[in-house]
Amino acid sequence: MSDEKKKKKKAINRLKTMYPLRANIDKGYERSVEATKAGKPTAWSMVNWWEADPILKAMDIEIVYPENYGAVCAAFGKAQAFLDRSDAEGFPTHMCGYARNCIGYAAKMKELGEIPSEAPMGGMPKPMLLLCSGALCDARIKWFQALGRYLDAPVWTVEMPHPGVEESQMPGVREKAIDFMVKELREFVVFLERLTGRKMDWNKLDEIANDLIAINKIWYDLNEMRKVRPCPMHSRDFWTCMNASLFPAGDPKEALRLYQDMYDEVKQRVDDKIGAVANEKYRMIFGELPPWHALKIFDELAERGWNFVIESWAYQAPKPMDYSKISDPIERIATQTYQWLTGYFEDALKEKEYMGYFAYPYIEWARTFQCDGALFHPLITCRTATNHLILAQDRLLSKWNVPAMIAEGDIVDLNLFDYADTMRKAEVLEEMMDHHKKVRQERGLEW
């Protein structure tokens, strides 16, 4: 078409179905802000990987995610004032940027007696509950406890076991872990009933639990299709749409329908052999969260033939399994979350890789997605997103001859990411990827 000829074609071929899905996420967020402003009971919650969200939703409690809000404040350039406030309150400066943003926000809100006027997107209203998650990092249990200084909301922690890779495969460990989660979640329901004076609607819970399982299933299957050459979907589309699974806001049925449309589009591309990048030369892994302020770097890299085909484990859907025989919704919820956490452990053990989440999935995907290299973006104030990356870099190279580069950034200090330096490193990585591709072939590896 003549129009397209005039305009320079974008290097990344975005999915059309991504736009309505994103619009739905934004709409869901706005609705949530409206509801909380209107006085609906609100919980501040850590991302909990579907362990607590269905319960809160079934009890009709609105959920606000301060981690997500940290990213929002950073994107609006409003984080610094909250970080400064947290520092002035005496919290050490090396702690999680999202936590410091939230602590500064809570301190300011207490001082003013209302939502600070500079808070972007309507701010976070005063919560009736602070919900910690035992998953993955210490900040996510410690930070809400520290908020007791500013808020009189009770704090609850949803438990999550963290077995070792080999230990997780011992007889009975899985059953005990899920049983433990179930017991804790039942206690949580009792507590919520006491806190809100409402009764749990078990039918509703059953339905929401199933919806979230269905969303995760289709989201997983959709991402599996990215193993195809050329890869039909770029990480940009993943990041744009992952929130509908991770932060289940709004109507889950609507989200499910939109993911289905997205699945169909990706399937069509696979059939038509259409890639997300025109001339896919390098199939790439991306590690941790992207530099949100410098996303155009992916366009520039796409022009060089870089297609990002898979990304960080923590934001992926769990490996699918059969939940149909689990009649109790609480048990189904616990099982899904445990499946997400430990889903790669069995394979990791076979390969004697002992960091079964974070690091091992990269090692598996390098082979199953036939990757040429990895771009890791450690986030300096998020140690949990950082402390496995040197290991992953080392293992990818020594095991599969897949080289990785590290370009530092942060979750709140967005200026930290050095665009030009990253592009310089990328050129060097290309040379390494070319070299190691030959080595892989010499070794008789499949890609």
Partner 1 sequence: MTKAVIINGDGKTCSSIIGPTGPEHRRLANKVMEDALRQANLSFEEISCVIATGYGRINVPFADRQITELTCHAKGVASFFPTARTAIDIGGQDAKGLKIKNGKLVDFVMNDRCAAGTGRFLEILVDTLGLKIEELGNTSLKSTKKVQISNTCTVFAQMEVMTHLSQGTPLPDIVAGLHDAIATRVVRMAKKLKIEPDVVFTGGVAKNIGMVNALKDNLGLEVLVPDEPLLTGALGAAILGKELTLKALAEGKPIHEKERRLEEATFFQAESN
Partner 2 sequence: MTAEEKKGIARAKEIYQDRALRAKELKAEGKQVMGYFCLYPVLEVLTAFDIAPFRILGDMKEPITKADACLPTVVCPFVRSAFDLGLKGRYDFFDGVVMCHSCDIGEKASHIWRIYLDPSYYHFLDTPHTVHKAAQEQFKGQLEDFIKTLESFTGKELSTDKLKEAVEIYNRQRALVRELYDLNKSDPPLVSGTEIIEIMVALMSIPVDEGNDLLKQVITEAKERSDGPQKKPYRLLVWGSVIDNTALIEMIESVGANVVMDDTCVGSRAYFPVVETTDDPLDGLAYRYLVELKCPRTFWEAEYGETKKDYIKDLDSRFGYVKDYIKEWDVNGVILQSVRYCDIHGYEVPGIGDYLNHNSLPNIYIEHDYSEGALAPLRTRVQAFLELIG
Interface contacts to partner 2, rule CB under 8 A: 89-92, 94-96, 99, 132, 134, 136-139, 141-143, 145-146, 148-149, 151-157, 159-167, 170, 172-173, 176-177, 180, 183-184, 187, 190-191, 194-195, 353-356, 358, 378, 380, 383-384, 386-391, 394-395
CB of 417 to partner 2, least distance (A): 15
CB of 104 to partner 1, least distance (A): 11
419 binds, among partner 2, partner 1, none (CB under 5 to 8 A by kind): none
330 binds, among partner 2, partner 1, none (CB under 5 to 8 A by kind): none
386 binds, among partner 2, partner 1, none (CB under 5 to 8 A by kind): partner 2
146 binds, among partner 1, partner 2, none (CB under 5 to 8 A by kind): partner 2
- Name which of 91 and 313 has its Cβ closer to partner 1: 91
- Name which of 206 and 413 has its Cβ closer to partner 1: 413
Beta bridge partners of 375: 286, 405
Cα–Cα distance measured from residue 157 to residue 140, given in angstroms and rounded to the nearest whole number:
9
CB of 145 to partner 1, least distance (A): 21
Side-chain half-sphere of 17: how many Cα atoms within 13 Å?
A: 19
| Identity of the residue numbered 426 | A
CB 344 within 8 A of CB 374: no
x-or-dash string of contact with partner 1, 90-109, rule CB under 8 A: x-------------------
Cα–Cα distance measured from residue 238 to residue 377, given in angstroms and rounded to the nearest whole number:
16
- Name which of 89 and 207 has its Cβ closer to partner 2: 89
Taking CB under 8 A as the rule, does residue 84 contact partner 1?
yes
Taking CB under 8 A as the rule, does residue 87 contact partner 1?
yes
Binding residue (CB under 8 A) for partner 1 from 172, 415, 442, 446 = 415
By DSSP bridging, strand 404-406 and strand 282-287 are: unpaired
CB of 173 to partner 2, least distance (A): 6
DSSP state of 118: T
184 binds, among partner 1, partner 2, none (CB under 5 to 8 A by kind): partner 2
Q: Which residue has the tokens 């990356």?
A: 389
Q: Cα torsion at 180, 182, 184, 187 (round to 10°)?
A: -140
Q: Count of CB atoms within 10 A of residue 196's CB?
A: 15
Cα–Cα distance measured from residue 102 to residue 381, given in angstroms and rounded to the nearest whole number:
14
CB 8 within 8 A of CB 249: no
CB 257 within 8 A of CB 219: no
CB of 56 to partner 2, least distance (A): 16
Q: Does residue 334 sit in helix, strand or coil? A: helix
Whole-angstrom CA distances from 342 to 135, 200, 285 are 12, 29, 21
- Name which of 84 and 167 has its Cβ closer to partner 1: 84
CB of 8 to partner 2, least distance (A): 39
415 binds, among partner 2, partner 1, none (CB under 5 to 8 A by kind): partner 1
Which token pair is 129?
Answer: 């509950």
Which token pair is 311?
Answer: 């990304």
CB of 92 to partner 1, least distance (A): 11
Type and span of the H or E element at 32: helix 18-37
CB of 151 to partner 1, least distance (A): 20
Residues forming the site for partner 1 (CB under 8 A): 84, 87-90, 415
